[in-house]
Structure 1
């Protein structure tokens, strides 16, 4: 779990029987993850190399915080076993709700609570991944309408699939390391 934060995803997969290792740049986050019984270490994905080879690496909501996302993706790719999978999630900073806020003078980009330094659209995310030795197996645009909204949620999912740049809050991708 690269960029594990407080270790919620790591804990979920460990409870399902997977062998999990977690990494994050934040010592506080690593301490919380270790309290869940998960092997975790402080690691700056931009400055350090991952040790070992992995079947699957999760990197959820991380790349928007790094200076060089391509460099990080290449490091994650190199840590995958042949045909290993990298599961990514990145926010779509240009969805319709954000555009409306910008139109009305409330950009809400970054700030002290969400110091994003990279802003991705679904098209840019795909272009970035194609720059690596990874292949996109599945891409799922996540609608900003919660599942509990019934029909509206299904409509939101449909719109996110058809127009991901406008109607997806984030993009969840399953990638695999290309055979060489």
Structure 2
């Protein structure tokens, strides 16, 4: 049985207009695999495969929080999941919807709604919740974690990915990726908004989820390939699960 949600606990104002504008300006380039979103296209098979190993997606009800142009949402639907992509960037959502139509992707829908508002509306309705590369772009990431926990069913999985906060991460993810290698547009990430794994783990546990697995994601500038491994110093993914007795 899902716990009733107190609507006063959530706020739909957890959004940074500057961040929305930043991604809206690039919306038409989401599905261009050589655009600013090339890194997302490159890492998508890695994160999809990792999700699949822990929570096979076929037949699952999934919500992708901060779905952007739908790169992960579309891929999960193609694995047989029933997917809702949620975001507040209207232009990105329109691009996602158009791509689904053009590609003939079944089982994916998109909505302009915040994680917090969706949690009020559909608490305990999802087998899998994903929130990838999104927490570092909102004013209050702990509020999004709380909403993700509310959305998932007991026994269900919530997957997060974000950027660690330390000197190495600043050097690699900001200086290296944005200013030297030009992998990302300048200003994509703010150091102060990066999140240490210990901080994310604290928010996860405070909201009734258990940390089950962690992976690091690294980029080799010589081979230009990404890989999952044990190094969580820069990019990392965290798999969490809601206990059945919640």
TM range (shorter): 0.7 to 0.9
Deviation at 1:169, TM superposition (A): 2.2
Is contact 1:144–1:169 with CA below 8 Å preserved after alignment? no
| 2:87 is aligned with 1:87 | no
2:109 counterpart of 1:39: yes
Displacement of 1:127 after TM fit?
A: 2.3
Structure 1 unaligned regions, length at least 5: none
1:69-84 alignment, distance < 5 Å:
69-84=141-156
Aligned twin of 1:49:
118
Shift in CA distance, 84/148, structure 1 to aligned 2, threshold 3 Å: same
Aligned length: 162
Alignment TM-score, normalising by the size of structure 1: 0.76
The Cα of 1:123 is off from its aligned counterpart by 2.4
Whether 1:131 and 2:196 are equivalent positions in the alignment is no
Indicate whether 1:29 and 2:92 are aligned: yes
Hey, what's the Cα distance between the residues in 2 that align with 1:84 and 1:145? 33
When you count helix as a share of all residues, which structure comes out higher? 2
- Could you tell me whether the CA contact under 8 Å between 1:95 and 1:169 is conserved in 2? no
Any unmatched runs of 5+ in structure 2?
A: 1-63, 102-107, 180-184
Partner of 1:2: 65
State the 1:81 CA deviation. Answer: 0.9
Superposition RMSD in Å:
3.0
Q: What CA distance in whole angstroms lies between the structure 2 residues aligned with 1:149 and 1:27?
A: 32
CA shift, 1:3, in A, is: 0.5
Q: Post-superposition shift, 1:144?
A: 3.5
* Per-residue CA distance 1:129-173 (angstroms, 9 max, x = gap): 2222110111112224369479xx89x945x1xxx3xxx321101
